[in-house]
Structure 1
Amino acid sequence: MKDRPAFGDPSRLTTGAKLFLILSAALLPLALIAIFATLQTSRVADEEARARLRVAADESARSIAIELIGDMVALRVALNALGADAADAPSCARVQGVFAQQAVDGTRFAVLDRSGRVLCGANFALPVALPSDQPIAAAVVPGKGLILAISGKRNGPTARAFFPQPFLATLGTPTSRSSGFSSAIVVRDQELVLDTIDNAGPLDRMETTSADIGIGDLALRASVRSAPVTSSLIVAMLLPLLMWAAAAGIGWFVVDRLLIRPLRQLRASVAAYTPGELIDPGQVRALPAQEIRELGDTFRAISRTVALHEAGLAEGLVRQTKLTREVHHRVKNNLQVISSLINFHARAAPSADAIAAYASIQRRVDALAVVHRNHFAEMEENRGLNLRAVIGELSSNIRATAPEGASSVSIALDVDPFLVTQDVAVAVAFLVTESMELAMSCDPSAQIRVAIKPSEIEKRAVLRVVSRAFVESEELRMLISSRYGRVMEGLSRQLRSPLHHDPLVGAYEIAVAVLGRD
């Protein structure tokens, strides 16, 4: 089973991926530092805006406190005086003088006894309830103004004052007011808006602070716009990340184009290289990196050397083939000359036994000549010798040289077109010749059947020679022991397979190695 790459194993990553990760790790801290510097600059701007807001809020709260405290002190003095003497006109006149300048802005006050009769000032309705557990009670009239109230001694008169919103807004405007400033007076969960920021949206960033006015529960809440999140700020924050990604991507792209991809192209050219060919010099020169071009030139030089070597080997093989063909041709001719000489001497033999001996020798020489002739014909393709052609020609020669008593011998062939080597073909030809001569010697009129069929074992075939002459007999035993047995046993050892004799059927059988079928 093929091993799978381990997850997270850096050694399994490609060079491009490793380079991208290294550049990312090297440049990311710089990008983070730049982003932090941008955020720090924005934070400093926010701190400055917050400091200016505190100064403005303190100034606005102080201005409102001075006015309200002065008015309420004058109102308490009048309240105490009128509580001691309800007809104290000078005290009433003094407090009226204090509120006279503010009256044009809508400020009003009133001093009332327990029955609600006005002792000084002008009475006005209370649209909201005032708390009674504080020295100075305060309440907001939404959208209109602020009401402050004080109480005298038990069952004594009370005093209250109304300060309109425009008047308080004027008091609460700081001299250092910026273009975007909003303020409101807050009493518990109520607020009176004094000023607002123009065009304020829900997405605007605001800085808010509170300042105690010093009267009752009154507090001033002020807000100002923070440094806006502009497109330039966004770009300033994103630019380091973009530069980091661009630098890593460009580095990977350049290395991939100039190094990795050319190496892959060169590797593909080398992998597709076939000995004897030349690596395309045009593709090598098109590589962008000089070092890789030099490596490509080296491979091209090696391929040229291999091609020259292959050409030399091919030329030598052609010469060797021609020489081998010439040798086989001369061997074939020499065997034919020997066969002719044996035939010539057989005609002049003094006895029938000598003629038979010459014929026996001639049949073996013919067997060897048949093998060489077929081998010479098969040398162009070098596939092996066809046993069907060899045994067919061999049978014809044996019938032609059969003794006088066996001139009518019948030879039947059932040979599949198996291909064998020359050594196997020589041994098979001699074995068939010996077995046929043995059959003709035992029974000159017997039929001989030669068959070669596939074996159950791969790359093997079975040679079977059948004749009634091979049935167990005294003549057969004598010929085998005296002449043919030793030769046939030697040929079986050359074929590296045992020779089986079936005396009941009358057959010799042996397995031979084959190259395949024609």
Structure 2
Amino acid sequence: MDRLRAQFRRLPVRLIALLSLALFPLGLIALYQTDKLLEEARMINRASLMERTVAAAAEERELIQHALGAARALGAVVQSIPQAACTEALRDFIDSQDDFIFVGYTLASGELRCSSRGVTMDLSGQDRFRRAIAAEGPTVQVTASGAVTGQPVVIVFYPVDRAGVRLGYMAISIPLHLANDLIGEAERADGLHLAVINTDGAILTATGGAGEAVDFLPASIGPAALANLEGRTFEADSGTGEPRIFAVGTMISGSAVVVGSWPAEVALDGGSRLRAWAPLTFPVVMWLTGMLVAYFGVQRLVIRHITQLRSAMRQYALGALHGGRIEMDDPPEELRETERAFNRMVLLLAQAEAQQEQDLRDKEVLLREVHHRVKNNLQLVGSIMNMMARNARTPEARRMLESLQRRVRGLAMLHRTLYTTPEMTTVDGAEMLRALIGDVTQGTRMRDLTVESDLCPVDLFPDQAVPLSMILAEAMTNAVKYCGRPGDGSSARIAVTLACDPASAMVELRIENTRGRPLMPNDDDASIGDGLGQTLMTAFERQLGGVSTVEDLPDRYVYSLRFERRDFEPGAD
């Protein structure tokens, strides 16, 4: 979840969100306009479908119109000539035509007066003739067997009038296979099917034959109802359940209509779903393009430069960039100013760091020199005291000078430790005490004395190291002075322990010496103390802020001091 929130806080993601919000109204407008445009395109497409439907049946329409025109012309001729001449004229007409197989003139009473085949008969009882009479104008009908030809034909009836009186009807028969062949040629690879239906709802001709017309005509609308939908387009399921678009156009005005049946996907998008949905994808493409441009623009113009700057800052923070420069690749002017500011900052900080390092080196040299000179001066004072002790006339004066010399050597040793350590601000307490123990004990000539030390390394600042060294010097002097052989026959022993607790910062100094038969000669003058050492130790304990304890037992003497390690406090006494 935290990682997801971090991703949402990224600049490209926020920019994409803001652009999406800004483009949302435009997307809605584009969708609305696209929907309207698509609706208009569908209306235009349906109008085009109507035109294509009517154009696809043009040859059959021309054939039927040719038959109607011929029937009208023959009707004007046959009504005024004798029967024999009528028959001869009709026979000559049929012989001159390739598209017609029969023509006849029937009186209004139903009597076939003359025909191209020279036969006469009474047609008044036939349904086709009665439907022609019921119609006020020309009619087009289809029959599986003509009354004279006995063949499947399309019959065109045209009324013959004189002075407003109905005399009869001219009938011309067109072979049904010829009409089907003409309309069958209209079938295209895009799934177009045609059917010609008269006003009575009879299917005159159809693509693939009238028997197959039910498969591509509307399942919910009968042929008779289709004849009443002339000039309209609509969508419905065909007899096979396939969604199709239907266009009902005029075939013969008042007599027949042509029905075009198209697959819905072809009719609406021209056979290409991609082209149909292309207008709707414009808002999505616009949004995606905006997002890609925004993302790569921010990535190119901002993010990569910020990443480079961040990397340089990290390197500088880790010390890997010493006065170096960053060079951005064609950044915007605002980031160019940031680049210049960063380079100036790096340069100034590098110069300041170099100056600081130089000052630090100078101070280090001076501090080492101070400690070295202090150590030399203290050693010089100690040497002068040693010379004075040799020339002292009384043992008391010699002891006092030797005591002072010992304390001066302790201070000199501390300063030597300070200028020889890398830090120069702290000293290793273990190393300092080890040197002091060696300095105190090397002046003794007691072969039976064993000195043991267990010192824990602890860093001390001079304000604690000096009193600790003084305390050790005084305590070691007393331990050496009063150390003796125990009664069990073992050798005399002095044990110095320095323990430290890192958790509590407490330090403990423990000095233990055995008691018994004295090692030093019994010199009454030497055994007399002036009490200065104890006074100094008490003052140094107070300076350390520690607490001391003493165990004065017959076989050993133990001195211990506990104090807390402190940091350096400037100006503290």
Same fold (TM > 0.5): yes
Indicate whether 1:509 and 2:560 are aligned: yes
The within-5 A match list for 1:36-51 is: 36=35, 39-40=38-39, 42-50=41-49
The within-5 A match list for 1:210-289 is: 220-223=258-261, 226=267, 228-229=270-271, 233=275, 237=279, 242=285, 245-274=288-317, 277-278=321-322, 280-281=324-325, 283-284=326-327, 286-289=329-332
Q: Do the aligned residues in 2 keep the contact of 1:465 with 1:508 (CA within 8 Å)?
A: yes
Q: Could you tell me how far 1:450 is from its partner in structure 2? A: 0.9
Q: 2:19 aligns with which of 9, 19, 22?
A: 22
Q: Could you tell me how far 1:400 is from its partner in structure 2? A: 4.5
Q: CA 1:144/1:415 → structure 2, altered by over 3 Å: closer, same or farther?
A: farther
Q: Do the aligned residues in 1 keep the contact of 2:247 with 2:261 (CA within 8 Å)?
A: yes
Q: CA 1:467/1:53 → structure 2, altered by over 3 Å: closer, same or farther?
A: same
Q: CA 1:167/1:120 → structure 2, altered by over 3 Å: closer, same or farther?
A: farther
Structure 2 residue identity aligned to 1:499: S
SS for the counterpart of 1:499 is strand
Q: CA 1:469/1:171 → structure 2, altered by over 3 Å: closer, same or farther?
A: closer
SS for the counterpart of 1:327 is helix
Q: Distance in 1 between matches of 2:497 and 2:202?
A: 120
Q: CA 1:279/1:253 → structure 2, altered by over 3 Å: closer, same or farther?
A: farther
Structure 2 gaps, min length 5:
72-81, 112-118, 127-133, 136-140, 146-150, 157-171, 185-189, 210-215, 217-237, 486-491, 517-526, 567-573
Structure 2 residue identity aligned to 1:467: N
Q: 1:450 aligns with which of 496, 506, 510?
A: 496
Q: Distance in 2 between matches of 1:246 and 1:388?
A: 74
TM-score, with length taken from structure 1: 0.64
Q: Could you tell me how far 1:342 is from its partner in structure 2? A: 2.0
Q: 2:479 aligns with which of 422, 425, 439?
A: 439
Q: CA 1:256/1:121 → structure 2, altered by over 3 Å: closer, same or farther?
A: farther
Structure 1 residue identity aligned to 2:453: L
Indicate whether 1:391 and 2:433 are aligned: yes
Q: CA 1:272/1:497 → structure 2, altered by over 3 Å: closer, same or farther?
A: same
The within-5 A match list for 1:313-352 is: 313-352=356-395
The within-5 A match list for 1:2-401 is: 3=2, 5-6=4-5, 12-15=9-12, 18-19=15-16, 22=19, 25-26=22-23, 29=27, 32=31, 35-36=34-35, 39-40=38-39, 42-50=41-49, 52=51, 105-106=100-101, 121=121, 164-166=175-177, 183-185=194-196, 192-193=205-206, 207-209=246-248, 220-223=258-261, 226=267, 228-229=270-271, 233=275, 237=279, 242=285, 245-274=288-317, 277-278=321-322, 280-281=324-325, 283-284=326-327, 286-378=329-421, 380-382=422-424, 384-401=426-443
Q: Do the aligned residues in 2 keep the contact of 1:383 with 1:419 (CA within 8 Å)?
A: no
Q: Could you tell me how far 1:67 is from its partner in structure 2? A: 8.6
**1:10-41: per-residue Cα shift (whole Å, max 9, x none)?**
xx242465157517853963764775576356
Question: What's 2:77 paired with?
Answer: none
SS for the counterpart of 1:349 is coil
Q: Distance in 1 between matches of 2:260 and 2:484?
A: 139
**1:364-389: per-residue Cα shift (whole Å, max 9, x none)?**
211111111111111x3548423343
Q: Which moved more, 1:24-33 or 1:448-457?
A: 24-33
Q: Which moved more, 1:222-231 or 1:347-356?
A: 222-231
Q: Could you tell me how far 1:399 is from its partner in structure 2? A: 2.7
Question: What's 1:411 paired with?
Answer: 451
SS for the counterpart of 1:272 is helix
Q: Distance in 1 between matches of 2:366 and 2:155?
A: 132
Structure 1 residue identity aligned to 2:38: L
Indicate whether 1:421 and 2:434 are aligned: no
Question: What's 2:116 paired with?
Answer: none
Q: Could you tell me how far 1:338 is from its partner in structure 2? A: 1.8
Q: Do the aligned residues in 2 keep the contact of 1:165 with 1:194 (CA within 8 Å)?
A: no
**1:89-128: per-residue Cα shift (whole Å, max 9, x none)?**
x99x999x9999899835699999xxxxxx96599xx9xx
Q: CA 1:459/1:492 → structure 2, altered by over 3 Å: closer, same or farther?
A: same
SS for the counterpart of 2:247 is strand
Structure 1 gaps, min length 5:
72-89, 113-118, 127-134, 149-160, 174-178, 471-477
Q: CA 1:420/1:108 → structure 2, altered by over 3 Å: closer, same or farther?
A: farther
Q: Do the aligned residues in 1 keep the contact of 2:541 with 2:547 (CA within 8 Å)?
A: yes
Question: What's 1:132 paired with?
Answer: none
TM-score, with length taken from structure 2: 0.59
Number of corresponding residues: 453
Q: Could you tell me how far 1:335 is from its partner in structure 2? A: 1.0
Q: Distance in 2 between matches of 1:53 and 1:480?
A: 138
**1:285-314: per-residue Cα shift (whole Å, max 9, x none)?**
534323322211111111111111111111
Q: Do the aligned residues in 1 keep the contact of 2:512 with 2:558 (CA within 8 Å)?
A: yes
Q: Do the aligned residues in 2 keep the contact of 1:463 with 1:511 (CA within 8 Å)?
A: yes
Q: Distance in 1 between matches of 2:557 and 2:294?
A: 87
Q: Could you tell me how far 1:449 is from its partner in structure 2? A: 1.3
**1:253-284: per-residue Cα shift (whole Å, max 9, x none)?**
23321222112212221232146955543x32
Structure 1 residue identity aligned to 2:195: A
Q: Do the aligned residues in 2 keep the contact of 1:450 with 1:464 (CA within 8 Å)?
A: yes
Structure 2 residue identity aligned to 1:415: L
Q: Which has the higher contact order (CA 8 A, sep 6+)?
A: 1
Q: Distance in 1 between matches of 2:543 and 2:142?
A: 130
Q: CA 1:184/1:15 → structure 2, altered by over 3 Å: closer, same or farther?
A: closer
Q: CA 1:51/1:314 → structure 2, altered by over 3 Å: closer, same or farther?
A: same
Q: Do the aligned residues in 2 keep the contact of 1:276 with 1:307 (CA within 8 Å)?
A: no
Q: CA 1:374/1:352 → structure 2, altered by over 3 Å: closer, same or farther?
A: same
Identity %: 22
Q: CA 1:500/1:279 → structure 2, altered by over 3 Å: closer, same or farther?
A: same
Q: Distance in 2 between matches of 1:439 and 1:360?
A: 14
Question: What's 2:571 paired with?
Answer: none
Q: Could you tell me how far 1:244 is from its partner in structure 2? A: 5.2
Question: What's 2:231 paired with?
Answer: none
Q: CA 1:7/1:325 → structure 2, altered by over 3 Å: closer, same or farther?
A: closer
Q: Could you tell me how far 1:208 is from its partner in structure 2? A: 2.5
SS for the counterpart of 2:393 is coil
Q: CA 1:332/1:279 → structure 2, altered by over 3 Å: closer, same or farther?
A: closer
Q: CA 1:169/1:277 → structure 2, altered by over 3 Å: closer, same or farther?
A: closer
